[in-house]
Structure 1
Amino acid sequence: MTAYFKASIAALALLTVPVAANAENLCQGYGPQTPRDISNTAGSNTTTVAFAPEAATLNLCNLHTHTNAEHKGPGFSVFVDDSDHGGFRCNETDTLTEAELAAPESDAFHGVKPGDTIEVHWVFSSCNVSPGKGLGSCLSDSCVNPQLRVEAQTFLVVNDSNALNFMDFAYQDNIVDGLHQPKALPTGTGSPVTFIGSTTGPSYSQAKCSPFQVTWSVRPQCAKVDINSLNAWADAGNIFQEDHSHGVRQLVTAEELLAPIN
């Protein structure tokens, strides 16, 4: 979940100032951090954080993407670099065909092209809120400390109408049992790895931690998604006001900042 959210609530943004770092320049006194290598279960940050309920019992409050994958997983383990748009690529990236890499007619969803990897975050809140832009949509005046859950899927972007249609996973005013829900969440990409972490995005690091506590559910394999459906999502004027993919927070590797995965 991207750090640009914190701009939505100025008071909460003040919480992002880290306390003094130790000799290894690690932030101190924070709960478990994200992103991580989901294949590595080690972690010594045992700050007590309750797991959020399942997504189907919460309100979808935000939906956004990052380029490349922030997490490292079995299906997205190719390191790009340590820049704000570094992270990890899907393993199959170098096997794409010329047709899959062809430029689309539209570029409504900026900064993403065929051959790119994106990590998509569906953000859910225990607050009685409606979906919208930024972290402010996950909170309210009467609910300032919600349980947050992020369902994450990494996609390999291709120009292919036979690939997954992103609109199948969009919101589009979908209400289920009185709750705001995506039309669907991805399946068929392995059992999600669930753990406690934080918000992400390039303004955070191992020296500057996020104060937000999040239950993560990260699918371990990539899936191909059609670039034209991402452009359609932007063209449709989604309620999240998302028309581009965000930067990444570099992988958290210090065990002191990671929760154990059971």
Structure 2
Amino acid sequence: MNKKFVLPTLLLLPMSVLANEAHTTQHEQVTNKFIKSQREKLEQNTVGKGFGPQSPRDIDSIAGENPITFGAAPAYSNMNLCNIHFHKNAEHKGGEFTHYAGNGDGHGYLGGYQYTGSLTSSELAPVHHEVCPSAHDSLYPGETIEVHYVHSTAQVTPGPTLGSCLNESINNPQLRVETQVFVLVNDHNAANFMDLTQIGEVQGFHQALNIPDSTGKPVQYAGSTTGPGYNEQGSPFQVSWSVRPKVVKVDIDSVGQWCQGNPFNEDHAHGVRNLVTNPKLLSEITQ
């Protein structure tokens, strides 16, 4: 973030104005027509083919017309954690993350949704090193990430990619994603991502030990896997989602530390899938 946007006379700065202001200008944003075309192709490639409900979605809207149903996965405490990864900007919309980041580059980067609250100038102060750099971008104070704690009913151990959620004995396990949205701050007193991703064994199940439990009642719904690879194609995976509506501030340096080494081989933020808005591709939220 460019220092010229941090005014010492301001105590609270709106995220929509300041976060990521300087470096987003380095990337082209596709047009609304381009996003509309992707959504049209998604509909064309799924109509009449029996795809189940898709993700991500607006968790504040309960509407959905997809007729495919499947049994909800057990509580995550009765499943094995198999993967943890995160996306730059929230894939889901709702709760405290409803500010549209923009159309992005059409391939999942710089799209999605951002924290709608305010942060102090010190929380937004720039860090003088790259955090989780990739060919697309790095992470900056004030940005939003959506973390996916993926769980499986298969007998598996935590590891890289969705493949870690499957095994030779059960190739169609039930899947659950516990979802928490975070906002990155330059504050070592904020939540520590190393703690938030700590794993261990509890009553015979591999678990993430410190998933936040004070960020509102999770919105639970039937959906699919996400990621920009499904912007124009339907995801064939059935996933039970739990999306917490409130955001947690997390120390950006602790996220950078995690990216430097973790059991999931994650070293950067993933792109986001376009928000699914076609009612025919969404489940009805009944809880």
TM range (shorter): 0.7 to 0.9
SS of alignment partner, residue 230 of structure 1 = helix
Aligned with 2:188 (options 161, 179, 192): 161
Q: Which amino acid aligns with 1:143?
A: I
Unaligned runs of 5+ in 1: 1-20
> Whose RCO is larger (CA < 8 A, sep 6+)?
1
Q: Which residue of 2 aligns with 1:73?
A: 94
Determine which of 183, 201, 216 is the counterpart of 2:241.
216
> C-alpha deviations, 1:2-58, integer Å up to 9, x for none?
xxxxxxxxxxxxxxxxxxx89963612200000000000000112121100000000
TM-score by length of 1: 0.86
**Paired residues of 1:133 and 1:241 also in contact (CA < 8 A):** yes
Distance (Å, rounded) in 2 between the aligned partners of 1:48 and 1:33 = 12
Give me the whole-angstrom Cα distance separating, in 2, the residues matched to 1:186 and 1:257: 29
Q: How does 1:19-30 map to 2 (within 5 A)?
A: 25=44, 27-28=46-47, 29-30=50-51
1:194 shift after superposition:
0.2
Contact 2:192/2:250 (8 A) holds in 1: yes
Structure 1 position 200 matched with structure 2 position 200: no
1:128/1:71 CA distance change after superposition, 3 Å: same
Change (3 A) 1:195 1:24: closer
CA 1:33–1:101: 2 relative to 1, 3 Å: same
Please name the residue that 2:6 is paired with: none
Letter in 1 for 2:121: E
Match of 1:152, SS state, is strand
Find the structure with the greater CA-based Rg.
2
* Structure 1 residues 191-222: Cα deviation after superposition (integer angstroms, max 9, x where no partner): 000000000001112x4110000000000111
Task: Measure how far apart 1:75 and its partner are.
Answer: 0.5
Q: TM-score, normalised by structure 2?
A: 0.79
**Structure 1 residues 161 and 211: alpha-carbon distance in aligned structure 2, compared to 1, 3 A threshold:** same
* CA deviation after TM superposition for structure 1 residue 234, in Å: 2.3
Q: Which runs of 5+ in 2 are unaligned?
A: 1-39
Alpha carbons 1:32, 1:257 under 8 Å: kept = yes
* One-letter amino acid of the structure 2 residue matched with residue 178 of structure 1: G
Q: Distance in 2 between matches of 1:153 and 1:79?
A: 18
C-alpha change, 1:26 and 1:79, in structure 2 (3 Å) is: farther
State how far apart, in whole Å, the 2-side matches of 1:119 and 1:24 are: 25
Output the CA distance in 1 between the equivalents of 2:100 and 2:128.
Answer: 29
Partner of 2:8: none
Maintained 8 Å contact 1:203/1:249: yes
> In the aligned structure 2, how far is the partner of 1:43 from the partner of 1:157?
32
Alpha-carbon offset, residue 100 of structure 1: 1.0
Change (3 A) 1:23 1:260: closer
* Residues matched between the structures, number: 237
The residue correspondences of 1:1-262 to structure 2 (distance < 5 A) are 25=44, 27-28=46-47, 29-83=50-104, 84-85=108-109, 86-92=111-117, 95-104=118-127, 106-110=129-133, 111-172=138-199, 174-205=200-231, 207-235=232-260, 237-262=261-286
Letter matched to residue 223 of structure 2: G
Evaluate the alpha carbon distance shift between residue 22 and residue 107 of structure 1 in structure 2; reply closer, same or farther with a 3 A threshold: closer
- 1:24 and 1:170, CA in 2 relative to 1: closer, same or farther beyond 3 A? closer
Q: Once superposed, what is the RMSD of the aligned Cα atoms? A: 1.7
Listed one character per residue, the Cα deviations across residues 92-126 of structure 1 (whole Å, up to 9, x for unaligned) are 2xx32222122335535222111110000000000
8 Å contact kept, 1:73–1:221: no
